A and B are shown apart, each in its own frame.
Chain A
């Protein structure tokens, strides 16, 4: 097998996932949260492809394509929400958008 071992890829994927997760938990701006979500998804994709190459099985790569499709649609929905929020002059701040509470 050429190139770095699968462990390096897995570590990078984990790092990307962690960064994205941290971004989702910590940041207040909705756009940044969506961005962090994308980073998480990319981390997962990387892990899938790495393990697929390591195992010689194409299934992981196919699944990664499916994940990309889902990510794209989810971004559409998320950005649509942001545009709707902006139209209503609401704050683009996750801490301020808390009306759905018990």
Chain B
């Protein structure tokens, strides 16, 4: 169990190092396979850890320490891994879904010039995420936190010749840095009061701190979680992050990194439970985000952005679930979401790949007829997302909404948000499905799947046409490395939810009980559970029906409310707001400083420091005559001076 956990943690790092050391000596495909194998090995390690922990009777968690990393006085931090139910669950999700996505990348990134760098970064990311979930103390969690932010920056900006990608990468990194800063501040407070960042001591001290202090700590942690998980008000980086390759969006911005915030809340729940107000603010943030993101997703025209806003919305559900105290609910939704969201992204990737990087859904109509496998897998993912039984989303989403009932008046607000969110989910998801898959193939689709063409190089037998104009001899919708992961995830998205069906059987809640027990107030009664389930499913089906009416059969036209449409298309003007709040004042202050202070005051009066430095350098330069004699003279003179000084002072 312990060895398996260490293997799980370090296998992807070994993959990265191998690819880096191999450089151009290994082929691009070899780099892809090294990365894939390393993550599959990590998955094997995670399974080993899970099985080992399963066999243990006491599941409170083992900490295995390698060595002491930092020591300063009484503050000590070790390099250790924590093996407990929560971390093994995350290890399985991260390495399992990660392995499938890296395998998919082999097919997706085939032919890219810098494939090796891509796979090195992917392995680095998996290692960082595993470090985050396995870290044995808060500092290692923060290390993993920072490293996933770095990997995300590197992978979003992977196609670095695109200015939009670079901008998106910077935006993601800066917003995450804000969250890192608040988390670091929270950790400083913890160190100041307890002198340690080990989980047990930190959680014990939380009980002894004053209410304001623990509120501040929880707020700092929430800031980090909100930044990493793209919740309001730090959500604007996620849609822009779609500039990265689709597998990156699937892995980082859907299945794993953005869920780190939820994991953090579940992991540090003792601190949050002491600061109940902040925990409820987290839930409120989740509720607000799930509505806002759902609304924005209604008007998006880029296939990846719809799924990105969907991710934002579903993480809102997870925050809602964890914030009210149902940590197992939040984690379970994290798991099913990883399955169906990665599936949706990879399905979108299959479509994008087939259409030579076209991402506008208005041009994609009818591709389902030519890509049936993708169509059905995507449908499975979409139904899971909306929460239609028996797909996995139904089992995970409804308990979250039901758990808000017993909280009081705001509980009912959250409940309403959850139900409306389910309706919106149905609408935007099936808007996407109906616009892209069924119906007559559009002109773009026909061009790419064209049977007869006057050019010599075209797709034969209805296979997709590649971007470079070379026809493919394959009949399939993509290489097996892309189709197999999609298939596996479709199965998981369909059946993966059956492991928990509260209140009948609750495997996940029981598994997590030693380390993340659900608060009593977040446990609904049987009736509340059933009624909520029915309402949420009906809301989702109503959303699907509306999408079918508008986009499937075009019986009803899109309601035209121009002001609202503009608001949604501008994503509630968050980008403009942040521009006005942060960028404009900073730019104004700096240009003011340059114009009025630097140019008027500093430059005319002060000495030209640059020129002075150059002149001084010129003087010293004359000492280097190039003649041996001068140097020897200086040597001898120096020795004489030292000798004299010795004689005089003795």
The interface of chain A, by Cβ under 8 A from chain B, is 21, 24-25, 33, 94-95, 97-102
What is the bound-complex CA distance between A98 and B629, given in angstroms? 10
Q: Give B613-636 as 1s and 0s: 1 = Cβ < 8 Å from A's Cβ atoms.
A: 000000011111111110011001
Instruction: For the complex of A and B, list the 10 residue pairs with the smallest distance between their C-beta atoms, beginning with the closest.
Output: A101-B626, A98-B626, A102-B624, A102-B621, A94-B628, A98-B627, A101-B624, A24-B632, A100-B626, A101-B625
The interface of chain B, by Cβ under 8 A from chain A, is 620-629, 632-633, 636
A94 touches B636 (CB 8 A): no
A97 touches B623 (CB 8 A): no
B627 touches A102 (CB 8 A): no
Cβ distance A102 to chain B, nearest Cβ, rounded Å: 3
Residue of B nearest to A98 (CB): B626
Residue of B nearest to A99 (CB): B626
What is the bound-complex CA distance between A24 and B621, given in angstroms? 24
Q: Which one, A25, A100, A102, contacts B629 given CB within 8 A?
A: A25
B627 touches A25 (CB 8 A): no
Known: A25-B632, A25-B633, A25-B636. A94 touches B623 (CB 8 A): no
What is the bound-complex CA distance between A101 and B632, given in angstroms? 15
Known: A21-B636, A25-B636, A102-B621. A94 touches B626 (CB 8 A): no
B621 touches A95 (CB 8 A): no
Given contacts A24-B632, A25-B632, A100-B626, 18 further A-B contacts (CB under 8 A): A21-B636, A25-B629, A33-B628, A95-B627, A95-B629, A97-B628, A98-B627, A98-B628, A99-B626, A100-B624, A101-B624, A101-B625, A101-B626, A102-B620, A102-B621, A102-B622, A102-B624, A102-B626
A-B contacts, 24 listed (Cβ < 8 Å): A21-B636, A24-B632, A25-B629, A25-B633, A25-B636, A33-B628, A94-B627, A94-B628, A94-B629, A95-B627, A97-B628, A98-B625, A98-B626, A98-B627, A99-B626, A100-B624, A100-B626, A101-B624, A101-B625, A101-B626, A102-B620, A102-B621, A102-B622, A102-B626
Which of B621, B627, B636 gathers most chain A CB within 10 Å?
Answer: B627
Residue of A nearest to B617 (CB): A102
B632 touches A102 (CB 8 A): no
What is the bound-complex CA distance between A95 and B622, given in angstroms? 16
Which of A33, A95, A100, A102 gathers most chain B CB within 10 Å?
Answer: A102
Cβ distance B337 to chain A, nearest Cβ, rounded Å: 66
What is the bound-complex CA distance between A97 and B577, given in angstroms? 68
What is the bound-complex CA distance between A25 and B634, given in angstroms? 10
For B632, what are the chain A residues with a Cβ–Cβ distance below 8 Å? 24-25
What is the bound-complex CA distance between A101 and B629, given in angstroms? 13
Cβ distance A93 to chain B, nearest Cβ, rounded Å: 10
Cβ distance A27 to chain B, nearest Cβ, rounded Å: 9
What is the bound-complex CA distance between A33 and B636, given in angstroms? 15
Cβ distance A24 to chain B, nearest Cβ, rounded Å: 6
What is the bound-complex CA distance between A101 and B633, given in angstroms? 16
Residue of B nearest to A21 (CB): B636
Cβ distance A55 to chain B, nearest Cβ, rounded Å: 18
For A24, what are the chain B residues with a Cβ–Cβ distance below 8 Å? 632
For A94, what are the chain B residues with a Cβ–Cβ distance below 8 Å? 627-629
What is the bound-complex CA distance between A99 and B135, given in angstroms? 58
Residue of B nearest to A33 (CB): B628
